Amino acid sequence: MFLRKLMPNEFVESIHDINMEDLRSRQIRAIITDLDNTLVEWDRPLATPEVERWFAEMRQAGIQVTVVSNNKQERVLTFCQPLGVNFIWAARKPTSQAFIRAVEKMNVRIEETVVIGDQLFTDVLGGNLLGFYTILVVPVTDTDGFWTRFNRWLERVALYWMRRKGMISWKNKS
């Protein structure tokens, strides 16, 4: 059933609410994360001090992170380069190519990797199609670009049906 492919394994308010002990118990060695509205607002060029600390905590825990974004090279490079974080731009999520490239770059298996993002139809669907553990976060801002606004409308419809079928119990994320 298509709705099941949109269902994240976990839902949290933000990346800062992801439980490190949970990741360790799942033997997670790597994270593939979205950038815009997952880590920072889509129009914020650089990481906040809190996001910088999150990356440092992941590094300290021995967890590799690769940013996988549908955005343009300049946007992703500007954000990731100062942090020394691997990235893939123009990812074309939910297609599988960028997710596969990310695990290959990090030299990990899908089972050792979690996908984090703020969108059902790109991050969660893309991760679920390949068998990743997926975590949906609340978007860090209410504003979006045109195509993301369209995706958010579709998400609301999907969440409505998922809730009606008893698949989810959390509050609306947007």
**pLDDT score recorded for residue 142:** 73
Per-residue pLDDT of the chain (174 residues; tens, 9 = 90+): 677 899 999 999 999 999 888 998 999 999 999 999 999 998 899 999 999 999 999 999 999 999 999 999 999 999 999 999 999 999 999 999 999 999 999 999 999 999 999 999 999 999 999 999 999 999 987 766 666 677 777 777 777 777 777 777 665 544
HSE of 119, CA atoms in CB hemisphere, 13 A: 26
- The answer to whether residues 106 and 30 touch, using CB atoms and an 8 Å cutoff, is yes
**pLDDT score recorded for residue 158:** 76
Say how far apart CA 135 and CA 170 lie, in whole Å: 13
Contacts of 92 (CB under 8 A, 6+ apart): 70, 98
Which domains, from first to last, does the chain contain?
2-164 (3.40.50.1000)
Say how far apart CA 171 and CA 153 lie, in whole Å: 16
- The closest alpha carbon to 30, from 131, 171, 128, 132, belongs to 132
DSSP string, 105-138: HHT--GGGEEEEES-IIIIIHHHHHHT-EEEEE-
> Distance from first CA to last CA of the chain, Å, rounded?
24
**pLDDT score recorded for residue 64:** 97
Only one residue has tokens 């394994």, namely 9
**pLDDT score recorded for residue 174:** 44
- The answer to whether residues 122 and 42 touch, using CB atoms and an 8 Å cutoff, is no
DSSP 8-state secondary structure symbol assigned to residue 82: G
Phi, psi of 14 (to 5 degrees): -155, 170
pTM: 0.86
